[in-house]
A and B are shown apart, each in its own frame.
Chain A
Amino acid sequence: MKTRRDFIKISTAGAGAVALSYKAFGSKGFGLFESNSVDPVSDEDLTPYPTYCEVCFWKCAGWAYVDKSGKIRKVLGNQDDPHCNGRLCPRGTGGVGMVYDNDRLKKPLIRETRKDGSQFFREAEWDEALDLVASKMKEVKEKYGPEAFGLFNHGTPGGQFHHLLKAYGSESNAEPAFANCRGPRSSAFFSTFGAYVGSPENTDIRDTKCLVLIGSHIGENMHNSQVQEMSEAIDNGATIITVDPRFSTAAAHSQHWLPIKPATDIALLLAWIHVLVYEELYDKDFVEKYTFGLEYLKDHVKNFTPEWAYGITTIEPEKIRETARAMAGAAPSVIVHPGRHVVWYGDDTQRERAMAILTALLGAWGKRGGFYFPEGVSVPAFPHPHFPEPEWTWKDWNEGRYPLATMGITTELLKASIPRYNYKHQVKAWLVAGTNLPLSMPDKPLFKEAAAAVEFIAVMDTMPMDITGYADVVLPEATYLERYDVIRSAPNREPNIALRMPAIEPMYDSKPGWWIAKQIGERLGLHDYFNFDDYSEVIDWQLKQLGTSLEEMKKIGVKKFPRKSGPLYMGDNEDFTFNTNSGKIELYSTDFADHGFDAMPKFTKHPEPQQNFYRLIYGRAPMHTFSRTSNNPNLSDLMSENSVWVNPKVADLWGLKKGQEVWLKNQDGHVTSFPVKVRVTERIRWDSVYMVHGFGHKNKKLSRAFGKGASDTEMITNVVVDPIMGGTGMRGNFITFLTEEPAREEKEVKA
């Protein structure tokens, strides 16, 4: 076998350490810790404060260790926390970099226009900024009704503003986490099992005998407890089957890697279902007792043989049979992982349905090593009056489309903001909290048109993300290590809660999200919805209802509660009613059929790249979260820019060399704002390229991230919408290489 060897050091020092070190010091000339010594501080000299992480949505609980001078030295995981088991991921460990990033938003900013028409941001005091936001909210309410004020939200800061908007009378909110990410699996699993997979997912990876990953790259996504449990599963000798056109980290740790042709996953899933059904490998007792529609399914998949799938997926029939039998051999301790970012081709809900059907055939729902029954703690709401009933909500933008959407669809919120779409219910102003829309949403031209159309935009963030460049008012939020926040309560094996409290006072003139929301609420006469002086009062009241207190939680950070809903798994032959139309697990979805959709998944052929174009696949790096961490001094130190992965055959064809900078152009003629370095690697197929998402920032105020790498989002202008729930399929975009910077017609001028 011919061997070829890639050799890449992810960290900055090591080989060539001297040259890199000098450069790093000379160009930055600052240190996070400016002490004259590298002597570590003993843990006994540090004070720990409980928190849960906000660098990603996994929300691992930990302790922020503060030294005697009031500096946070490190953040470590909480041993009792099931999200992290005492071990944070690199982003959580590097979360301290969010606090000490010199580029943070430091003062409220208000957009001003000079006489010549040019615009700039002026620093303002909080009163002025908050008065302005409140006056715009009043104005919109009077002119159009409160519903016309929309909210883009993500994470805990988004939650504070969601409360504000509901009190104000609007439920015109949407978060990229649904239609741009995990929405299809929610709709698919709910239609099949009458239950959601949740976050963290109820996958029992710890005890599984077979883990199937389809485009899910655990290990590159650092969904902490899942990464930990996959490692345990490896120790336990579990079989891992990874389906990916890219040789991912998970693929490298798998017994079976199926290097599938992109966009053909449903064909593989149908062939697997065919093998289970026609070789009678499915769990007969489980299927008979708990499911509906086996006969329909049997008929449906009759012709979807492995030989049929071979011609579509390029996966050999014997490999398809071998892996199907491996799953059946491990059943019911088998997980066909639903994944997380699953908006690929516009038929994603159907692909997720196929995965749910496989799960049902293997009898893995409610079983050890399959999917467990999670339970959460219901945290009572702090007393407030009923929310007013809006005359219309996010559901009404859809006007009958996307009937199985369970949350607001971001692209619909954009379209509702653009008059030419002529929506019956239009949005006139936005609040944006905790999400960097220009990099978190596809179809940037649509975003820009919407941002230009609305009358007012207020953005709350900790960093001068690209979205702040579109704001009329920028509200600098304190980081998660400087604020109280909502009690974390996410369903898990054991019900549990976690506390976030400030480890240090907010730096600069930043303020906690709860404070900002309350201040705006007070100005709108909504005091009764914010009937507290400090958020610690809310938390203490809630904790007391749960039989604990703020005082206790400050000492322990995480508290577990006994389960009330019954065991983690279904008993053998136990009677069970599912929350679906038929009361059974639906192999044949009556819900889909009722809405005029295919009741069982079908394979649809998707467009292929044209000559000289390659399918754009994007994903995660373990040390970064979305575009949020690219400027974090600790994490940019690990990975400061992305690259475009190119197969050596393709590189030869184009004469591309390792490290060469290229611009990418997509099928619609869009070119990346910045060049990106080529990584020549066997780890990617010849018909595709791969990029880590979240780079190519355009705001110069991000001194470390500006212009570093290219934005995959800029290349995603073709969006295939899932008719079932409105998901935005983003994998139907193709790029080609430009080896020289193209002449540009349009220059973007920013405030």
Chain B
Amino acid sequence: MRYAMAIDTKKCVGCGDCVVACQTENNVPHGYCRDWIVESVDGTYPSLSLEFRSERCNHCDNSPCVRCCPTGASHIEEGGIVTVTHHKCIGCGACIQSCPYDARYSHPEGYVDKCTFCLHRVQKGQSPACVDVCPTRCLHFGDLDDPNSDVSLAIKDRKWKTLAPEAGTDPQLYFLT
């Protein structure tokens, strides 16, 4: 089993609903977030292109955050989901520095927090909160080992890219272009 997410940049409007839904679902304090929107503009007026990306932890197959964690708080759960056991985390911040995607933050209560792909929902057969709320349905989640999963079908016939492939982390967010 290998959980992954595909983000359709041809449909995303950058509304930030994924960010708010994550905050309310996961009790993320105001001023912090586990997912965010990147807007990137190319060209000069009027020859322009614009891409919105809903970004979060890439749940990398080769995850530097897990390797560098001195206490084992950062670890890999079922289906390759990278999570942090809060009570084991000493808040040293090494994982934050090691992440090429800037996907982790220091929670005010002293530990490091990040996207869990809503593991608590996924374990019950639900999708992550961001996927379920997205008005444009541009987020696709599922098991890459299942050829009929939403994410497998989404990337099957489309061009996609990953972010910072040069970091060698084998990221599991696929941006459909």
Q: Which residues of A contact B (CB under 8 A)?
A: 1-15, 17-18, 20-21, 23-25, 28, 30-33, 35-40, 42, 73-77, 84, 86-90, 93-94, 96, 219-220, 222, 224, 227-228, 230-231, 234-235, 247, 249, 251-253, 257, 259, 622-623, 633-635, 637-639, 647-648, 681-686
Contact = CB atoms under 8 A, between A and B. Distances in A.
B155 to A, nearest CB: 15
Contact of A5 (B17, B42, B55, B106): B42
Given A76-B132, A93-B17, A683-B41, 14 more contacts: A6-B41, A10-B36, A10-B38, A12-B33, A13-B105, A18-B96, A18-B106, A40-B118, A77-B133, A90-B15, A93-B20, A224-B135, A634-B30, A637-B23
A219 B50 contact: no
A37 to B, nearest CB: 7
Interface in B10-57: 10-11, 13-17, 19-21, 23-33, 35-52, 55
Contacts of A9: 36-38
Nearest to A85: B135
Given A24-B32, A686-B45, A17 B19 contact: no
A698 to B, nearest CB: 23
Nearest to A222: B15
B60 interface: no
A334 to B, nearest CB: 21
Contacts of B49: 252
Nearest to B15: A622
Contacts of B93: 18
Contacts of B51: 252
B50 A17 contact: no
B27 A37 contact: yes
Most A CB atoms within 10 A — which of B32, B47, B51? B32
Label chain A's interface by main secondary structure.
loop
Given A38-B26, A682-B48, A12 B135 contact: no
A132 B25 CA distance: 44
A364 to B, nearest CB: 24
A146 to B, nearest CB: 44
A90 B104 CA distance: 22
B136 interface: yes
A623 B30 contact: no
A1 B32 contact: no
B138 interface: yes
Interface stretch (B74-82, B107-115, B140-148): B107-115
A231 B137 contact: yes
Nearest to B34: A13
Contacts of B137: 87, 228, 231
Closest 8 CB pairs of A and B: A24-B31, A219-B13, A11-B36, A622-B15, A252-B50, A231-B136, A6-B41, A90-B17
Most B CB atoms within 10 A — which of A11, A15, A88, A686? A11
Contact of A10 (B14, B29, B104, B132): B14
A682 B45 contact: yes
A32 B108 CA distance: 13
19 contacts: A5-B41, A9-B36, A10-B19, A13-B31, A13-B32, A21-B31, A21-B108, A25-B31, A38-B26, A38-B28, A40-B26, A40-B120, A87-B134, A93-B24, A227-B135, A622-B16, A637-B33, A639-B16, A682-B41
